[in-house]
A and B are shown apart, each in its own frame.
Chain A
Amino acid sequence: MVTDKKRSLFEKLELGKDYYEIRLESIGGLGANLCGKMLGELGLKFLDLNSTSFSSYGSEKTGTPVKGFIRYCKSEKEIRVHYPVVEPDLLVIFHQALLKDETVWKGCNKDTTVIVAVEDGQDEEMSKKLSAIIREHNLEAVYTIKAQKIAMETHSRINVVMLGAALKIMGLEDVSEGEKICEDTLGKKYPEALKNNIEGIRRGFTELEVLSCTEEDGNNIEKSGNTQDPKNHKENRKNGNPQWGYDNAPIGGINPRFGSTVIADLSPSRQGYIPLFIKDRCINCGLCHTACPDMVFQFAKGEYKGKEMMVNQGLDYYHCKGCLRCVDVCPVNALVRGVEAEHPVKEFFLPNQELIRTPDYYEESGPDGYITSESYLTEKRMEGGEV
């Protein structure tokens, strides 16, 4: 695969751009924070550039959105700006669930190169989805990488695969700098993990694919002025989700919208698996109801084996984060683990039964997802832990 030299980091800086800017769009737990740090450090230490990096901040929760920001400039320049990357040269999306989130696309335009981590085996569907996004945002360079698959095969993690892919787009000739930064970060303490991660980087670098749009899709690329303007994006968001401000918000930060988190669609928090309900097996013991952190199980008065009791009617998949605690506690295997991609239509999908009106669900993976602390998490990552 050949990438566009004009879009490379060095070329852009040579042509007089102050900064080459990268934005990482990820979900807590995929290691975007560490990826951003490695990318930044690599620029400073091995590419003779100056660089900074940081993540969106706050209280890190698994499954919530995290953004990472990296800026490069020529070595002699000081980087003095401290705000997030607004118009990225390179946008790296760690999880395809994020494609639906409009804030992910904020500030993207024809100069933005995009890398999307995609799942294996749904090429056609994905290229359709992406083609629509390409049209909407006037994008000209979109690449895909089967990050999860590569990570699993190499026993590495998605973040290093995405790092390798980013290095390719940045215009590096090979992954030698990637290897060096990996050694720096992981140290010599974990030789096996190091080997695996370097292989992850290498495959990310080499297995990046140009997105092939269908002809029809390609022809439909329209110049849409609106979507490039972040302001308009905000406006759209506002229309869908009217905002409180100083003029109309209840004083004191008081919130009378009781129960309003219910409109969040938490499906992007899932990591590929969902609980499947086999109703015939269910004995309505209620254990799943005691184990679910997300109030997914919908019980209602009914009849079971001729006895009046509370009966499990179904699952509210809007709020299921796929933790599979219910599968673990179910004594009769009425709840089993399923691969979500194999169940595009979910049986016994029942939204929260206490709602008195149908809300507009918003694609969200939770409240603000951020990084406040990293030493413990970094250590876990180094040891190949879950996070």
Chain B
Amino acid sequence: MNNQVMEYASGNEMAAIAIKQIGYDLMGYYPITPSTQIAENLDVMRANGETDMVMVAAEGEHSAAGICYGAAVAGGRVVNATSANGLLYAIEQFPVQSGTRFPMVMNVVCRTVSGPLSIKGDHSDIMYLLNSGWPILFATTVQQVYDFNIIALKLAEKVRLPVVVAYDGFFTSHQKSRCYRFDRDEEVRAYIGPKVEEYPFLDLEHPITVGSYMNEPDLINNRYQLHLAMEQVDEVLPEIFEEYEKISGRKYSKVEGFGCEEAEDILVLLGSSYDTALEAIDELRASGEKVGVATVNVLRPFPAKELVELIGNAKNIVVADRQDSYGAGGGNLSLEVRATLQRYSKNVNVKSLVYGLGGKDFFKEDVGKMLQLARNKGAFDFEYYGVTKGSLKKQDEPLFDPVTREKTKIGATKVDEEGKVVGANLNQVTAMPGRIAPGHGACPGCGIPVNLNLLLKGIEDPVVFLFQTGCAMIVTTAYPRTSFKVPYVHNLFQNGAATLSGIAEVCYRKQQKGEIPPGDIVFVMVSGDGGMDIGMGSALGTALRGHRLLIFEYDNGGYMNTGYQLSYSTPLGARSSTSHVGKNQYGKIFFHKDMPKLMAATGIPYVATVAESNPVDFIKKAAKAAHYAKTTGTAYVKAISACPLNWNDKPATERKVIEAAVNSCYFPLYEIEQGETILSYDPEKMGKKIPVVDWLSMMGRTKHLVKEEYREVVERMQQEIDIRFYELKRKSEKGV
């Protein structure tokens, strides 16, 4: 077809291209691996003026889904992209949107949801959407990602339902391959057609109410309408596919198979594994085996009729799922296939397999092995494929002695009777035993371990850690190793603080009941990489409840663990992979968040900011925060934390960059103790205050701001910094 051009691109890139070509009004999103690149690519296009779509980086997926819903209600063309935990976090929005019938498209780049955190690809997230009322198209190739994105919007607007385009995380989202796109955006737009709103929300002449309060006897009728809409999807999809074939030359159907007509044994798979299996089946057939492979391109509505026509006459079927519906005897695809065969009274020997969890690779050889299992009558009905028994005979001997209460009482830093911290001599505090072992995988020069070590030097009581998701947890706990020598738990971005509340409360109760030994324990939550964006609500809630614990934030100014997307504490104007610099964009467009002020507003007894450039001050504040966390209530300490990789500066000289952040008053050092603000270090008084642009010029992410064309941005930033700093200074001088 000469209306198309060839691209060498990944699934995420092709999704972004389709989104740009469609000409959406708005994208509401929150970065989560592996879907993030879609927004990143679109942000580049925005910066370069290729699209004027409104892009809203929410503070979490729940809000992103809300932004999208609002935009859809208002009659906009709307798109979202997410994965895994993010999808689950937003899940309550999805039935609302399908039930109130506002079309949009959401790309779900499939990834594991699990307890021990995995970021790799499987189908455990997408299956949570089976009951959401959203039609789900599943793309197996990069080409399909592009095509289905275009088809999805046409379908969505036709049946007035939101539609998901799902594809495999990494296997499809990140692998680059040959594919084609329409040369002209107009062709894509002509195929989709104009948007028709049956009930325009913003028509003030004809006001409507969206989202009634509805129980029996009405709700069942609303649900029935949704059911009918799904049936309509089933009906109209073939026409939509056909129309698409006319303009693209690519033919799609609800189900797809190879060799199924003559096959005795058929493997049924979802996603990129189907693509891999095609090649294997080709070889097996060439060697005379009567085998085939099938997949569904549409997961909802489930194409039962078409599937049974394709595979219903086989003798043996094995359905392999990249997820498990625990306790149901198979993954969801296999359950659907079994139900389908039963519905059409097909007497076929069916087996269910679970394979490839957490992104475990699927090789060509696996196809033959799975089919072999299918033929093996009666041997099993449901099995895990590819598990390892383990070869470790006995537990290895410990490498360290436990870090006991006595060992950490080094007596170097103390809170005296008046509540003043004494000590923190940098020589003496080197005696503090390590609660975190070396061998972690942080980048050379990373500020996170530096800040954690400084914090821990000041805490002479036992420590229990909770880390939110982020670089700090990824680099310390890659299984089967861990850097922690003290109790540690990871929990989600959204509710880490809440989780630690639960831990602390049970500890205090157990101590009271005498079930565990008495004595002070400092509970420390570690947050960073934007954890105080999505997790702010939970942190504020914890502070308002006043649990006795310490919240420590390493503020590296971005979501560094996922490749540096902007966080709300990224400096104004800074470049990130969701705030590119181009002719239409100067970097991040809003100010860095003043998190200490927000925490102080909850009335907690202790709030402090610390920086490695002032190590004694840092350690003293750690000791004081620990003191309050033990005795009084929630303490919050925030450190500015260097990220040489994404700040794009030299690892060796990070301390100087941190010092400049402090001296420019971008990151003033102060504490708010029992409501009283005290400036710990006044660069002005010391004659060290520098303009913020001097700090910005030290980092690759912000050095473009030095240019004359960005002077206005820098001036605005300087003004904001001054407002914040002089407010602190006034309070400090007045003793309030």
Contact = CB atoms under 8 A, between A and B. Distances in A.
B662 to A, nearest CB: 15
A62 B34 contact: no
B450 A293 contact: yes
Interface in A298-353: 299, 301, 309-310, 316, 318-319, 321-325, 327-329, 352
Contacts of A366: 440-442, 475
Interface in A328-387: 328-329, 352, 354-357, 359, 365-369, 371-377, 379-380, 385-387
Given A328-B653, A355-B399, A62 B561 contact: no
Given A262-B399, A354-B433, A322 B444 contact: yes
Classify chain B: how many residues form its interface, as a range: 35 or more
B646 A83 contact: no
Given A259-B485, A379-B580, A325 B651 contact: yes
A141 B152 CA distance: 51
Contacts of A62: 443-444, 644-645
Interface of A: 28-29, 37, 40-41, 44-45, 50-55, 57-64, 79-84, 86, 238, 242-249, 252-253, 255-264, 266, 269-271, 284-287, 289-297, 299, 301, 309-310, 316, 318-319, 321-325, 327-329, 352, 354-357, 359, 365-369, 371-377, 379-380, 385-387
Contact of B648 (A37, A63, A357, A386): A386
Q: Nearest 3 A-B pairs (CB), nearest first?
A: A373-B563, A245-B390, A366-B441
B5 to A, nearest CB: 12
Contact of B119 (A37, A256, A261, A372): A372
Contacts of B486: 258
Most chain B CB within 10 A, of A60, A61, A258, A357, is at A258
A279 to B, nearest CB: 15
Contact of B275 (A80, A249, A327, A386): A80
Interface in B109-148: 115-116, 119-120
19 contacts: A59-B474, A61-B475, A62-B645, A63-B443, A83-B363, A86-B363, A244-B480, A247-B389, A255-B481, A261-B440, A262-B439, A309-B428, A319-B438, A322-B444, A323-B445, A356-B398, A366-B441, A373-B33, A375-B40
Given A59-B119, A299-B431, A291 B575 contact: no
B450 A292 contact: yes
A253 B479 contact: yes
B478 interface: yes
Contacts of B36: 372-373
A386 B440 contact: no
A376 B364 contact: no
Contacts of B612: 290-291
B475 A255 contact: no
Nearest to B646: A376
Given A52-B175, A387-B645, 7 more contacts: A63-B441, A257-B482, A259-B437, A289-B426, A325-B654, A376-B564, A380-B700
B399 A82 contact: no
Interface of B: 6, 8, 10, 33-34, 36-37, 40-41, 43-44, 115-116, 119-120, 168, 170-172, 174-178, 272-273, 275-276, 278-279, 359, 361-364, 387-393, 395-402, 425-431, 433-434, 436-450, 453-454, 457, 471, 474-486, 561-565, 575-577, 580, 612, 615, 644-646, 648-656, 700
B162 to A, nearest CB: 26
Given A80-B275, A377-B563, A367 B651 contact: no
A44 to B, nearest CB: 5
B389 A245 contact: yes
Contacts of A55: 174
A80 B278 CA distance: 7
A195 to B, nearest CB: 22
Contacts of B446: 293
Nearest to B34: A372
Contacts of A380: 648, 700
A258 B400 contact: yes
Given A57-B359, A242-B393, A354-B400, A373 B430 contact: no
A297 B561 CA distance: 27
A82 B276 contact: yes
Nearest to A355: B399
A52 B426 contact: no
Most chain A CB within 10 A, of B442, B478, B564, B655, is at B442
Nearest to B363: A83
B177 A325 contact: no
Contacts of A271: 444
B390 A266 contact: no
Nearest to A373: B563
Contacts of B176: 37, 40-41, 52-54
Contacts of A263: 399, 439, 481
Nearest to B400: A259
A354 B434 contact: yes
Given A354-B434, A386-B700, A373 B450 contact: no
A266 B439 contact: yes
A64 B441 contact: yes
A87 B407 CA distance: 51
Contacts of B395: 256
Contact of B651 (A82, A264, A323, A368): A323
A296 B120 CA distance: 32
Contacts of B485: 258-259
A296 B652 CA distance: 15
A263 B389 CA distance: 24
Contacts of A372: 33-34, 36, 119, 562-563
Contact of B441 (A29, A53, A367): A367
Given A287-B615, A301-B431, A324-B651, A257 B442 contact: no
Contact of A286 (B43, B401, B430): B430
Contact of A367 (B10, B478, B648): B478
Contacts of B172: 82
A308 to B, nearest CB: 11
Nearest to A33: B174
Given A262-B437, A287-B426, A325 B652 contact: yes
Contacts of B449: 293-295
A385 B648 contact: yes
